[in-house]
Amino acid sequence: MSATPTALLIDRPTVAVDRRAQRNILIAMITALVAVLAAMSGLNVAQQEMAIDLGATQGGVLWIINAYTVALAALLLPVGAIGDRFGRKTVLQVGLVVFGLATVGALLATSTSAMIVARVVAGAGAAMIMPVTLSIITSSFPPEDKAKAIGIWAGFAGGGSMIAMFVSAFMIDVLTWRWVMALPLALVAVSAVMSTLHAPNSKEATGHRFDTVGSVLSALAIGGLVLGIHEGPEKGWTYPLTMVAMIVGLVSALLFVTWERRQAEPLLDISAFRDRGLAAGSLTLLIVFAVMFGVFLVLFPFFQAVLGWTALKSAAAMLPMTVVMMPMSTIAPKIARRLGRRNTMASGVAIFALGLTTMALRASVEGGYLSVLPGLIIIGLGMGLTMTPSTEAITETLPAEKQGVASALNDVSRELGGAVGIALLGSVLTAGYRSAIEPNLVGISPEFAESASEGIGSAFAVAGRAGEQGPAIIDAAKHAFVSGWTQSMWLGVGMAGVALVYLIVRGPARVTHAVPVRADELVEVG
Protein backbone atom coordinates (compact mmCIF):
# COMPACT_ATOMS: atom_id res chain seq x y z
CA MET A 1 0.00 0.00 0.00
CA SER A 2 1.09 3.55 -0.58
CA ALA A 3 3.19 4.63 2.34
CA THR A 4 3.08 8.12 3.81
CA PRO A 5 5.47 9.67 6.32
CA THR A 6 2.79 11.28 8.48
CA ALA A 7 0.01 9.02 9.62
CA LEU A 8 -2.49 8.64 12.40
CA LEU A 9 -4.52 5.66 13.58
CA ILE A 10 -8.26 5.82 13.13
CA ASP A 11 -10.42 3.58 15.29
CA ARG A 12 -13.63 5.58 15.08
CA PRO A 13 -16.27 5.97 12.34
CA THR A 14 -15.42 8.27 9.47
CA VAL A 15 -19.00 9.52 9.51
CA ALA A 16 -20.71 9.91 12.90
CA VAL A 17 -24.30 8.59 12.84
CA ASP A 18 -26.65 7.48 15.62
CA ARG A 19 -28.30 4.04 15.91
CA ARG A 20 -31.53 5.08 14.21
CA ALA A 21 -29.60 6.57 11.31
CA GLN A 22 -27.51 3.40 11.09
CA ARG A 23 -30.67 1.31 10.77
CA ASN A 24 -32.05 3.55 8.02
CA ILE A 25 -28.73 3.54 6.15
CA LEU A 26 -28.61 -0.25 6.34
CA ILE A 27 -32.17 -0.58 5.02
CA ALA A 28 -31.38 1.76 2.12
CA MET A 29 -28.20 -0.11 1.20
CA ILE A 30 -29.72 -3.60 1.52
CA THR A 31 -32.73 -2.74 -0.67
CA ALA A 32 -30.41 -1.33 -3.34
CA LEU A 33 -28.20 -4.43 -3.17
CA VAL A 34 -31.14 -6.83 -3.49
CA ALA A 35 -32.46 -4.81 -6.45
CA VAL A 36 -29.18 -5.48 -8.27
CA LEU A 37 -29.28 -9.17 -7.36
CA ALA A 38 -32.95 -9.49 -8.35
CA ALA A 39 -32.22 -8.09 -11.79
CA MET A 40 -29.42 -10.62 -12.13
CA SER A 41 -31.24 -13.76 -11.00
CA GLY A 42 -34.85 -12.98 -11.93
CA LEU A 43 -34.50 -13.53 -15.66
CA ASN A 44 -32.76 -16.87 -15.10
CA VAL A 45 -36.15 -18.38 -14.22
CA ALA A 46 -37.89 -16.54 -17.06
CA GLN A 47 -35.76 -17.77 -19.96
CA GLN A 48 -38.40 -19.90 -21.68
CA GLU A 49 -41.22 -17.35 -21.41
CA MET A 50 -38.92 -14.51 -22.44
CA ALA A 51 -37.67 -16.41 -25.49
CA ILE A 52 -41.23 -17.08 -26.68
CA ASP A 53 -42.41 -13.50 -26.10
CA LEU A 54 -39.41 -11.83 -27.76
CA GLY A 55 -38.86 -14.49 -30.41
CA ALA A 56 -35.32 -14.87 -29.10
CA THR A 57 -32.95 -17.71 -29.90
CA GLN A 58 -31.13 -19.54 -27.11
CA GLY A 59 -28.05 -17.48 -27.96
CA GLY A 60 -30.10 -14.30 -27.73
CA VAL A 61 -31.44 -15.29 -24.31
CA LEU A 62 -27.92 -15.96 -23.05
CA TRP A 63 -26.81 -12.54 -24.29
CA ILE A 64 -29.71 -10.89 -22.47
CA ILE A 65 -28.61 -12.55 -19.24
CA ASN A 66 -24.84 -12.22 -19.69
CA ALA A 67 -24.87 -8.60 -20.95
CA TYR A 68 -25.95 -7.43 -17.50
CA THR A 69 -23.32 -9.51 -15.69
CA VAL A 70 -20.46 -8.47 -17.98
CA ALA A 71 -21.28 -4.74 -17.75
CA LEU A 72 -21.63 -4.98 -13.98
CA ALA A 73 -18.37 -6.85 -13.42
CA ALA A 74 -16.35 -4.70 -15.83
CA LEU A 75 -17.28 -1.38 -14.21
CA LEU A 76 -17.09 -2.33 -10.52
CA LEU A 77 -13.54 -1.16 -9.79
CA PRO A 78 -13.66 2.13 -11.76
CA VAL A 79 -17.05 3.10 -10.33
CA GLY A 80 -15.95 2.18 -6.81
CA ALA A 81 -13.00 4.56 -7.21
CA ILE A 82 -15.26 7.28 -8.63
CA GLY A 83 -17.46 6.98 -5.55
CA ASP A 84 -14.42 7.39 -3.30
CA ARG A 85 -13.35 10.45 -5.26
CA PHE A 86 -16.60 12.33 -5.94
CA GLY A 87 -19.00 11.07 -3.27
CA ARG A 88 -20.46 7.64 -2.63
CA LYS A 89 -24.02 8.83 -2.13
CA THR A 90 -23.85 10.82 -5.37
CA VAL A 91 -22.73 7.77 -7.34
CA LEU A 92 -25.38 5.62 -5.66
CA GLN A 93 -28.19 8.01 -6.57
CA VAL A 94 -27.03 8.32 -10.18
CA GLY A 95 -26.80 4.53 -10.32
CA LEU A 96 -30.31 4.11 -8.97
CA VAL A 97 -31.69 6.45 -11.65
CA VAL A 98 -29.74 4.75 -14.48
CA PHE A 99 -30.66 1.29 -13.21
CA GLY A 100 -34.34 2.22 -12.78
CA LEU A 101 -34.67 3.75 -16.25
CA ALA A 102 -32.90 0.80 -17.86
CA THR A 103 -35.17 -1.65 -16.03
CA VAL A 104 -38.20 0.23 -17.34
CA GLY A 105 -36.64 -0.08 -20.81
CA ALA A 106 -36.29 -3.83 -20.33
CA LEU A 107 -39.88 -4.02 -19.11
CA LEU A 108 -41.10 -2.36 -22.33
CA ALA A 109 -38.65 -4.03 -24.75
CA THR A 110 -40.24 -5.79 -27.72
CA SER A 111 -37.12 -7.23 -29.36
CA THR A 112 -34.02 -9.13 -28.35
CA SER A 113 -31.69 -6.29 -29.37
CA ALA A 114 -33.64 -3.71 -27.35
CA MET A 115 -33.58 -6.04 -24.36
CA ILE A 116 -29.81 -6.52 -24.61
CA VAL A 117 -29.20 -2.76 -24.77
CA ALA A 118 -31.43 -2.20 -21.74
CA ARG A 119 -29.60 -4.91 -19.83
CA VAL A 120 -26.18 -3.44 -20.62
CA VAL A 121 -27.30 -0.04 -19.31
CA ALA A 122 -28.87 -1.70 -16.25
CA GLY A 123 -25.56 -3.48 -15.61
CA ALA A 124 -23.75 -0.13 -15.73
CA GLY A 125 -26.24 1.28 -13.24
CA ALA A 126 -25.82 -1.79 -11.03
CA ALA A 127 -22.05 -1.21 -11.02
CA MET A 128 -22.72 2.24 -9.56
CA ILE A 129 -24.89 0.71 -6.85
CA MET A 130 -23.33 -2.54 -5.69
CA PRO A 131 -19.88 -1.48 -4.40
CA VAL A 132 -21.18 1.79 -2.97
CA THR A 133 -23.74 -0.01 -0.79
CA LEU A 134 -20.92 -1.67 1.14
CA SER A 135 -18.54 1.33 1.16
CA ILE A 136 -21.26 3.58 2.61
CA ILE A 137 -21.79 1.02 5.38
CA THR A 138 -18.07 0.66 6.17
CA SER A 139 -17.58 4.44 6.22
CA SER A 140 -20.72 5.16 8.30
CA PHE A 141 -20.70 2.58 11.09
CA PRO A 142 -18.46 2.69 14.19
CA PRO A 143 -16.13 -0.27 14.84
CA GLU A 144 -18.43 -1.83 17.44
CA ASP A 145 -21.33 -1.98 14.93
CA LYS A 146 -19.52 -2.31 11.63
CA ALA A 147 -18.95 -6.08 11.74
CA LYS A 148 -22.63 -6.81 12.35
CA ALA A 149 -23.66 -4.44 9.54
CA ILE A 150 -21.21 -6.10 7.15
CA GLY A 151 -22.61 -9.46 8.24
CA ILE A 152 -26.15 -8.42 7.35
CA TRP A 153 -24.93 -7.04 4.01
CA ALA A 154 -23.00 -10.26 3.30
CA GLY A 155 -26.03 -12.37 4.19
CA PHE A 156 -28.19 -10.55 1.67
CA ALA A 157 -25.35 -10.60 -0.89
CA GLY A 158 -25.30 -14.39 -0.61
CA GLY A 159 -29.00 -15.11 -0.11
CA GLY A 160 -30.63 -12.21 -1.89
CA SER A 161 -30.40 -13.92 -5.28
CA MET A 162 -32.28 -16.97 -4.02
CA ILE A 163 -35.02 -14.87 -2.41
CA ALA A 164 -35.35 -12.83 -5.61
CA MET A 165 -35.45 -16.01 -7.67
CA PHE A 166 -38.33 -17.33 -5.57
CA VAL A 167 -40.30 -14.08 -5.89
CA SER A 168 -39.59 -13.96 -9.64
CA ALA A 169 -40.75 -17.55 -10.12
CA PHE A 170 -43.94 -16.72 -8.23
CA MET A 171 -44.59 -13.73 -10.51
CA ILE A 172 -44.03 -15.85 -13.62
CA ASP A 173 -46.44 -18.52 -12.42
CA VAL A 174 -49.13 -16.05 -11.34
CA LEU A 175 -48.63 -13.15 -13.78
CA THR A 176 -46.16 -12.88 -16.70
CA TRP A 177 -42.38 -12.87 -17.05
CA ARG A 178 -42.28 -9.07 -17.44
CA TRP A 179 -43.40 -8.70 -13.83
CA VAL A 180 -39.96 -10.02 -12.90
CA MET A 181 -38.72 -6.44 -13.43
CA ALA A 182 -41.27 -5.11 -10.93
CA LEU A 183 -39.28 -6.34 -7.92
CA PRO A 184 -36.02 -4.47 -8.68
CA LEU A 185 -38.01 -1.37 -9.66
CA ALA A 186 -39.86 -1.36 -6.34
CA LEU A 187 -36.64 -1.89 -4.41
CA VAL A 188 -34.89 0.89 -6.31
CA ALA A 189 -37.71 3.29 -5.45
CA VAL A 190 -37.47 2.42 -1.74
CA SER A 191 -33.68 2.75 -1.73
CA ALA A 192 -33.78 6.07 -3.59
CA VAL A 193 -36.04 7.61 -0.96
CA MET A 194 -34.20 6.08 2.01
CA SER A 195 -30.71 6.95 0.75
CA THR A 196 -31.73 10.53 -0.09
CA LEU A 197 -33.02 11.03 3.44
CA HIS A 198 -30.44 9.15 5.46
CA ALA A 199 -27.22 8.17 3.64
CA PRO A 200 -24.15 10.40 4.17
CA ASN A 201 -22.14 11.48 1.12
CA SER A 202 -18.69 10.44 2.28
CA LYS A 203 -15.68 10.83 0.00
CA GLU A 204 -11.91 11.04 0.14
CA ALA A 205 -10.36 14.44 0.81
CA THR A 206 -7.20 14.06 -1.27
CA GLY A 207 -6.78 15.82 -4.58
CA HIS A 208 -4.60 13.31 -6.45
CA ARG A 209 -5.13 12.58 -10.13
CA PHE A 210 -7.78 9.98 -10.94
CA ASP A 211 -6.30 6.80 -12.42
CA THR A 212 -8.11 6.85 -15.77
CA VAL A 213 -5.74 4.42 -17.51
CA GLY A 214 -6.00 1.94 -14.66
CA SER A 215 -9.79 2.24 -14.72
CA VAL A 216 -9.98 1.45 -18.43
CA LEU A 217 -7.56 -1.46 -18.13
CA SER A 218 -9.44 -2.93 -15.18
CA ALA A 219 -12.73 -2.71 -17.09
CA LEU A 220 -11.21 -4.45 -20.12
CA ALA A 221 -9.53 -7.10 -17.98
CA ILE A 222 -12.53 -8.07 -15.87
CA GLY A 223 -15.07 -7.59 -18.65
CA GLY A 224 -13.02 -9.62 -21.11
CA LEU A 225 -12.41 -12.48 -18.69
CA VAL A 226 -16.05 -12.67 -17.56
CA LEU A 227 -17.32 -12.55 -21.15
CA GLY A 228 -14.86 -15.22 -22.28
CA ILE A 229 -15.66 -17.49 -19.35
CA HIS A 230 -19.39 -17.12 -20.01
CA GLU A 231 -19.07 -17.80 -23.75
CA GLY A 232 -16.57 -20.66 -23.53
CA PRO A 233 -18.87 -23.43 -22.26
CA GLU A 234 -21.67 -22.41 -24.66
CA LYS A 235 -19.81 -21.63 -27.90
CA GLY A 236 -16.53 -23.46 -27.30
CA TRP A 237 -13.15 -22.21 -26.13
CA THR A 238 -11.91 -21.84 -29.72
CA TYR A 239 -14.93 -19.78 -30.79
CA PRO A 240 -13.64 -16.38 -32.08
CA LEU A 241 -15.54 -14.23 -29.57
CA THR A 242 -14.43 -16.44 -26.69
CA MET A 243 -10.79 -16.31 -27.75
CA VAL A 244 -10.79 -12.55 -28.37
CA ALA A 245 -12.47 -11.86 -25.03
CA MET A 246 -10.03 -14.07 -23.13
CA ILE A 247 -7.00 -12.57 -24.89
CA VAL A 248 -8.20 -9.01 -24.27
CA GLY A 249 -8.93 -9.88 -20.63
CA LEU A 250 -5.57 -11.53 -19.96
CA VAL A 251 -3.48 -8.89 -21.78
CA SER A 252 -5.38 -6.08 -20.07
CA ALA A 253 -4.89 -7.75 -16.69
CA LEU A 254 -1.13 -7.92 -17.23
CA LEU A 255 -1.05 -4.29 -18.39
CA PHE A 256 -3.19 -3.28 -15.41
CA VAL A 257 -0.78 -4.87 -12.92
CA THR A 258 2.22 -3.30 -14.68
CA TRP A 259 0.59 0.14 -14.78
CA GLU A 260 -0.65 0.08 -11.18
CA ARG A 261 2.77 -0.87 -9.80
CA ARG A 262 4.25 2.26 -11.37
CA GLN A 263 1.66 4.74 -10.09
CA ALA A 264 2.07 6.88 -6.98
CA GLU A 265 -1.73 6.89 -6.49
CA PRO A 266 -3.01 3.72 -8.20
CA LEU A 267 -6.62 2.69 -8.63
CA LEU A 268 -5.75 -0.53 -6.77
CA ASP A 269 -2.46 -0.84 -4.94
CA ILE A 270 -1.22 -4.24 -6.11
CA SER A 271 1.23 -4.46 -3.21
CA ALA A 272 -1.79 -4.54 -0.86
CA PHE A 273 -2.23 -8.19 -1.86
CA ARG A 274 0.83 -8.93 0.24
CA ASP A 275 -1.53 -8.41 3.15
CA ARG A 276 -2.73 -11.84 4.21
CA GLY A 277 -6.23 -10.59 4.98
CA LEU A 278 -6.83 -9.04 1.56
CA ALA A 279 -5.40 -11.98 -0.35
CA ALA A 280 -7.17 -14.61 1.75
CA GLY A 281 -10.50 -12.77 1.72
CA SER A 282 -10.45 -12.28 -2.06
CA LEU A 283 -9.42 -15.86 -2.83
CA THR A 284 -11.93 -17.34 -0.40
CA LEU A 285 -14.85 -15.36 -1.80
CA LEU A 286 -13.82 -16.16 -5.37
CA ILE A 287 -13.72 -19.90 -4.71
CA VAL A 288 -16.81 -20.08 -2.50
CA PHE A 289 -18.95 -18.11 -4.95
CA ALA A 290 -17.53 -20.09 -7.87
CA VAL A 291 -18.74 -23.30 -6.29
CA MET A 292 -22.04 -21.78 -5.11
CA PHE A 293 -22.96 -20.58 -8.60
CA GLY A 294 -21.94 -23.98 -9.93
CA VAL A 295 -24.29 -25.61 -7.42
CA PHE A 296 -27.13 -23.37 -8.61
CA LEU A 297 -26.36 -24.40 -12.18
CA VAL A 298 -26.79 -28.04 -11.21
CA LEU A 299 -29.70 -27.86 -8.80
CA PHE A 300 -32.33 -26.20 -10.96
CA PRO A 301 -32.15 -28.77 -13.78
CA PHE A 302 -32.24 -31.45 -11.08
CA PHE A 303 -35.41 -30.03 -9.55
CA GLN A 304 -37.13 -29.27 -12.85
CA ALA A 305 -35.97 -32.06 -15.16
CA VAL A 306 -35.17 -34.93 -12.81
CA LEU A 307 -37.90 -34.29 -10.21
CA GLY A 308 -40.34 -32.62 -12.61
CA TRP A 309 -40.93 -29.57 -10.41
CA THR A 310 -42.12 -26.13 -11.50
CA ALA A 311 -39.83 -23.08 -11.42
CA LEU A 312 -41.59 -21.81 -8.29
CA LYS A 313 -41.25 -25.09 -6.41
CA SER A 314 -37.59 -25.34 -7.52
CA ALA A 315 -36.84 -21.84 -6.24
CA ALA A 316 -38.61 -22.63 -2.95
CA ALA A 317 -36.44 -25.72 -2.58
CA MET A 318 -33.35 -23.47 -2.36
CA LEU A 319 -34.71 -21.39 0.52
CA PRO A 320 -33.54 -23.70 3.37
CA MET A 321 -29.97 -22.86 2.37
CA THR A 322 -30.81 -19.15 2.57
CA VAL A 323 -32.60 -19.52 5.90
CA VAL A 324 -29.40 -20.94 7.40
CA MET A 325 -26.94 -18.72 5.55
CA MET A 326 -28.31 -15.27 6.36
CA PRO A 327 -28.54 -15.53 10.18
CA MET A 328 -25.12 -17.20 10.28
CA SER A 329 -23.62 -14.27 8.33
CA THR A 330 -24.91 -11.92 11.03
CA ILE A 331 -23.46 -13.84 13.97
CA ALA A 332 -20.19 -14.77 12.21
CA PRO A 333 -18.42 -11.61 13.50
CA LYS A 334 -19.08 -12.71 17.11
CA ILE A 335 -17.63 -16.12 16.33
CA ALA A 336 -14.63 -14.49 14.65
CA ARG A 337 -13.95 -12.40 17.74
CA ARG A 338 -13.77 -15.59 19.82
CA LEU A 339 -12.00 -17.94 17.42
CA GLY A 340 -10.08 -15.46 15.28
CA ARG A 341 -10.84 -14.52 11.69
CA ARG A 342 -8.61 -17.15 10.10
CA ASN A 343 -10.07 -19.98 12.20
CA THR A 344 -13.62 -18.81 11.49
CA MET A 345 -13.02 -18.58 7.73
CA ALA A 346 -11.27 -21.95 7.67
CA SER A 347 -14.08 -23.56 9.69
CA GLY A 348 -16.67 -22.08 7.31
CA VAL A 349 -14.86 -23.39 4.23
CA ALA A 350 -14.46 -26.82 5.85
CA ILE A 351 -18.21 -26.96 6.61
CA PHE A 352 -18.91 -25.75 3.06
CA ALA A 353 -16.77 -28.60 1.68
CA LEU A 354 -18.59 -31.05 3.96
CA GLY A 355 -21.91 -29.91 2.49
CA LEU A 356 -20.63 -30.48 -1.04
CA THR A 357 -19.33 -33.92 -0.05
CA THR A 358 -22.71 -34.78 1.47
CA MET A 359 -24.46 -33.83 -1.76
CA ALA A 360 -21.97 -35.77 -3.88
CA LEU A 361 -22.44 -38.90 -1.78
CA ARG A 362 -26.21 -38.74 -1.23
CA ALA A 363 -27.70 -37.24 -4.42
CA SER A 364 -29.79 -39.71 -6.40
CA VAL A 365 -32.79 -39.89 -8.71
CA GLU A 366 -34.63 -42.20 -6.35
CA GLY A 367 -33.81 -40.16 -3.22
CA GLY A 368 -35.28 -36.97 -4.70
CA TYR A 369 -35.17 -33.72 -2.74
CA LEU A 370 -34.35 -35.35 0.59
CA SER A 371 -31.12 -36.68 -0.90
CA VAL A 372 -29.84 -33.12 -1.43
CA LEU A 373 -31.50 -31.20 1.43
CA PRO A 374 -28.91 -32.03 4.14
CA GLY A 375 -26.09 -30.93 1.84
CA LEU A 376 -27.91 -27.70 1.02
CA ILE A 377 -28.30 -26.82 4.70
CA ILE A 378 -24.66 -27.60 5.50
CA ILE A 379 -23.50 -25.51 2.50
CA GLY A 380 -25.60 -22.58 3.73
CA LEU A 381 -24.08 -22.90 7.19
CA GLY A 382 -20.53 -22.90 5.81
CA MET A 383 -21.14 -19.96 3.50
CA GLY A 384 -22.70 -17.89 6.26
CA LEU A 385 -19.69 -18.50 8.47
CA THR A 386 -17.24 -17.64 5.68
CA MET A 387 -18.64 -14.61 3.85
CA THR A 388 -18.65 -11.95 6.56
CA PRO A 389 -15.08 -12.39 7.88
CA SER A 390 -13.85 -12.64 4.27
CA THR A 391 -15.54 -9.36 3.39
CA GLU A 392 -14.20 -7.73 6.57
CA ALA A 393 -10.69 -8.93 5.72
CA ILE A 394 -10.89 -7.08 2.40
CA THR A 395 -12.50 -3.84 3.56
CA GLU A 396 -10.27 -3.46 6.63
CA THR A 397 -7.07 -3.86 4.65
CA LEU A 398 -7.56 -0.81 2.44
CA PRO A 399 -7.66 2.68 4.02
CA ALA A 400 -10.77 4.77 4.65
CA GLU A 401 -10.42 6.78 1.44
CA LYS A 402 -10.31 3.57 -0.63
CA GLN A 403 -13.45 1.89 0.74
CA GLY A 404 -15.20 2.13 -2.62
CA VAL A 405 -12.34 0.24 -4.25
CA ALA A 406 -12.29 -2.27 -1.37
CA SER A 407 -16.02 -2.89 -1.76
CA ALA A 408 -15.64 -3.20 -5.53
CA LEU A 409 -12.82 -5.72 -5.08
CA ASN A 410 -15.11 -7.72 -2.81
CA ASP A 411 -17.82 -7.66 -5.51
CA VAL A 412 -15.36 -8.50 -8.31
CA SER A 413 -14.24 -11.58 -6.37
CA ARG A 414 -17.87 -12.72 -6.19
CA GLU A 415 -18.73 -11.96 -9.83
CA LEU A 416 -15.56 -13.40 -11.31
CA GLY A 417 -15.91 -16.42 -9.06
CA GLY A 418 -19.48 -16.95 -10.24
CA ALA A 419 -18.42 -16.88 -13.88
CA VAL A 420 -15.54 -19.29 -13.25
CA GLY A 421 -17.75 -21.66 -11.28
CA ILE A 422 -20.45 -21.84 -13.93
CA ALA A 423 -17.83 -22.51 -16.59
CA LEU A 424 -15.83 -25.12 -14.66
CA LEU A 425 -18.59 -27.03 -12.91
CA GLY A 426 -20.84 -26.71 -15.95
CA SER A 427 -18.17 -28.21 -18.20
CA VAL A 428 -17.57 -31.10 -15.78
CA LEU A 429 -21.32 -31.69 -15.53
CA THR A 430 -21.67 -31.80 -19.31
CA ALA A 431 -18.72 -34.14 -19.79
CA GLY A 432 -19.85 -36.38 -16.95
CA TYR A 433 -23.39 -36.53 -18.33
CA ARG A 434 -22.21 -37.54 -21.78
CA SER A 435 -19.85 -40.24 -20.53
CA ALA A 436 -22.54 -41.65 -18.23
CA ILE A 437 -25.46 -41.68 -20.69
CA GLU A 438 -23.75 -43.18 -23.72
CA PRO A 439 -23.43 -46.76 -22.30
CA ASN A 440 -27.13 -46.62 -21.33
CA LEU A 441 -28.27 -45.74 -24.85
CA VAL A 442 -27.27 -49.05 -26.38
CA GLY A 443 -30.16 -50.26 -28.49
CA ILE A 444 -31.60 -46.72 -28.87
CA SER A 445 -31.90 -45.35 -32.39
CA PRO A 446 -28.61 -43.52 -33.26
CA GLU A 447 -30.52 -40.37 -34.16
CA PHE A 448 -32.25 -40.25 -30.78
CA ALA A 449 -29.12 -41.32 -28.89
CA GLU A 450 -27.05 -38.50 -30.40
CA SER A 451 -29.61 -35.87 -29.41
CA ALA A 452 -30.06 -37.32 -25.92
CA SER A 453 -26.31 -37.19 -25.26
CA GLU A 454 -26.25 -33.40 -25.77
CA GLY A 455 -27.95 -32.68 -22.44
CA ILE A 456 -30.90 -33.56 -20.25
CA GLY A 457 -33.10 -30.94 -21.94
CA SER A 458 -32.39 -32.42 -25.35
CA ALA A 459 -33.02 -35.92 -23.97
CA PHE A 460 -36.46 -34.94 -22.73
CA ALA A 461 -37.25 -33.27 -26.04
CA VAL A 462 -36.25 -36.26 -28.14
CA ALA A 463 -37.98 -38.72 -25.79
CA GLY A 464 -41.34 -37.21 -26.75
CA ARG A 465 -40.97 -38.43 -30.30
CA ALA A 466 -39.04 -41.64 -29.60
CA GLY A 467 -42.15 -43.75 -29.01
CA GLU A 468 -41.52 -46.84 -26.91
CA GLN A 469 -37.86 -45.85 -26.45
CA GLY A 470 -38.87 -42.58 -24.75
CA PRO A 471 -39.06 -43.85 -21.13
CA ALA A 472 -35.66 -45.53 -21.44
CA ILE A 473 -34.11 -42.30 -22.75
CA ILE A 474 -35.60 -40.26 -19.89
CA ASP A 475 -34.44 -42.74 -17.25
CA ALA A 476 -30.92 -42.82 -18.73
CA ALA A 477 -30.81 -39.01 -18.87
CA LYS A 478 -31.87 -38.59 -15.25
CA HIS A 479 -29.27 -41.00 -13.92
CA ALA A 480 -26.58 -39.58 -16.22
CA PHE A 481 -27.34 -36.07 -14.98
CA VAL A 482 -26.89 -37.12 -11.35
CA SER A 483 -23.65 -38.86 -12.32
CA GLY A 484 -22.36 -35.66 -13.95
CA TRP A 485 -23.57 -33.70 -10.94
CA THR A 486 -21.56 -35.93 -8.61
CA GLN A 487 -18.40 -35.25 -10.60
CA SER A 488 -18.98 -31.49 -10.55
CA MET A 489 -19.57 -31.57 -6.78
CA TRP A 490 -16.28 -33.40 -6.25
CA LEU A 491 -14.57 -30.67 -8.26
CA GLY A 492 -16.22 -28.17 -5.90
CA VAL A 493 -14.85 -30.11 -2.93
CA GLY A 494 -11.38 -29.88 -4.45
CA MET A 495 -11.72 -26.12 -4.99
CA ALA A 496 -12.90 -25.65 -1.41
CA GLY A 497 -9.92 -27.72 -0.30
CA VAL A 498 -7.57 -25.29 -2.05
CA ALA A 499 -9.16 -22.40 -0.18
CA LEU A 500 -8.95 -24.28 3.11
CA VAL A 501 -5.24 -25.07 2.70
CA TYR A 502 -4.52 -21.46 1.77
CA LEU A 503 -6.38 -20.19 4.85
CA ILE A 504 -4.48 -22.56 7.13
CA VAL A 505 -1.12 -21.53 5.67
CA ARG A 506 -1.70 -17.85 4.75
CA GLY A 507 -4.97 -16.85 6.40
CA PRO A 508 -5.46 -13.40 7.98
CA ALA A 509 -3.79 -12.67 11.28
CA ARG A 510 -5.86 -13.02 14.44
CA VAL A 511 -5.45 -9.37 15.44
CA THR A 512 -6.54 -6.65 13.03
CA HIS A 513 -4.70 -3.36 13.43
CA ALA A 514 -6.03 0.07 12.64
CA VAL A 515 -5.20 1.40 9.19
CA PRO A 516 -2.82 4.37 8.98
CA VAL A 517 -3.98 7.30 6.86
CA ARG A 518 -2.74 10.84 6.40
CA ALA A 519 -4.35 13.56 8.46
CA ASP A 520 -5.30 15.45 5.30
CA GLU A 521 -7.13 12.38 3.91
CA LEU A 522 -9.95 12.25 6.42
CA VAL A 523 -13.41 11.81 4.96
CA GLU A 524 -15.55 14.77 4.06
CA VAL A 525 -19.30 14.66 4.60
CA GLY A 526 -21.67 16.50 2.31
pLDDT tens profile 369-397: 898 899 999 999 998 888 888 888 887 77
More confident residue, 191 or 429: 191
Percent residues over pLDDT 90 in the chain: 9
What are the DSSP E strand ranges found in 311-437?
A: none
pLDDT at residue 481 in the model: 85
pLDDT the model gives residue 2: 39
What band does 229 get if pLDDT is binned at 50, 70 and 90? confident
Q: Which of 58-67, 430-439, 482-491 has the highest mean pLDDT?
A: 482-491
| CA 183 to each of CA 23, 40, 126, 191, 278: distance values in angstroms, whole numbers, following the listed order | 22, 12, 15, 12, 34
What's the predicted TM-score (pTM) here? Answer: 0.78
Percent of the chain with pLDDT over 70: 88
The pLDDT-based confidence of 207 (bands split at 50, 70, 90) is: low
Q: 54-111: per-residue pLDDT in tens?
A: 777 666 777 787 788 888 888 887 887 787 777 778 888 899 999 999 999 888 888 8
Question: Quick one: how far is CA 254 from the chain centroid?
Answer: 24
C-alpha distances in Å from residue 78, one per residue of 84, 97, 164, 344, 411? 10, 19, 27, 31, 12
Which DSSP symbol is given to 266?
-
501 pLDDT tier (thresholds 50, 70, 90): very high
Q: What is the pLDDT confidence band of residue 517, given thresholds at 50, 70 and 90?
A: very low
Measured between alpha carbons, how far is residue 370 from residues 108, 277, 305, 377, 437 in Å? 41, 38, 16, 11, 24
